[in-house]
Chains A and B, each alone.
Chain A
Amino acid sequence: QKEVEQDPGPLSVPEGAIVSLNCTYSNSAFQYFMWYRQYSRKGPELLMYTYSSGNKEDGRFTAQVDKSSKYISLFIRDSQPSDSATYLCAMSLFSGGYNKLIFGAGTRLAVHP
């Protein structure tokens, strides 16, 4: 079993839809939970990060963490074609003196006009 599970999709939605992206994890030692957006042939871009269980909102994006269920989500409201990208969840683990990131497989999202 992978430490971080994420459905690779692809996920195709119409413009304006609410998108829900999810990851589950098995290691209760994970401390920070992040969502990255990666456009094709580009490096990942940090969208949001959270530490505790609960919701965090930033514009059209809401990150949700449920530590008891080991489940995190990213919601995108009023999705736009420019949101089409691969979304990677990542979790940090303090190991060897550093916060290492463990990535999910990434979910490919396509928002069509």
Chain B
Amino acid sequence: GAVVSQHPSWVICKSGTSVKIECRSLDFQATTMFWYRQFPKQSLMLMATSNEGSKATYEQGVEKDKFLINHASLTLSTLTVTSAHPEDSSFYICSGLAGVGGQFFGPGTRLTVL
């Protein structure tokens, strides 16, 4: 199947700092990528949809100024959590769209904000 990577896999940062997470499609071109957040023992919640070369579409309740998404190429999307706070600590997962209905997920990035 299609492979998606994420970097870093785990990051710890101080409150108030910004953190960038990269999502790459390794063996396919993903014109559309999705960013999800998952709290412990809960399901994935879609945060935003990003398309290569255009602005991301955010789900209701997600602050676009806090979670900056850039989809600069067909294989790379980045999520920057700005001025992170402890409540932003979560598991962030991206996926790339490969064909109709086929989303392939990255391994996730665990963010811990102290």
Inter-subunit contact A104/B101 (CB<8 Å): no
Task: Tell me the dominant secondary structure on chain B's binding face.
Answer: strand
How many Å lie between the Cα of A46 and that of B95 in the bound state?
11
Q: Which residues of A contact B34 (CB under 8 A)?
A: 100-101
Range class of the B interface residue count: 20 to 34
Query: CA separation between A106 and B41, bound complex, in Å?
Result: 8
Interface residues of B (CB under 8 A from A): 1, 4, 6, 32, 34, 41-46, 49, 57, 91, 93, 95, 97, 100-108, 110
Can you spell out 9 A-B residue pairs with CB atoms less than 8 angstroms apart?
A: A34-B101, A36-B105, A46-B102, A49-B102, A51-B101, A99-B101, A99-B103, A100-B34, A101-B44
Q: Which A residues from 10 to 56 make CB contacts under 8 A with B?
A: 31-32, 34, 36, 41-46, 49, 51
Most chain A beta-carbon neighbours within 10 Å: one of B43, B100, B103, B108: B43
* With A42-B108, A43-B108: A101-B100 Cβ-Cβ less than 8 Å: no
Tally A residues with Cβ within 8 Å of B.
26
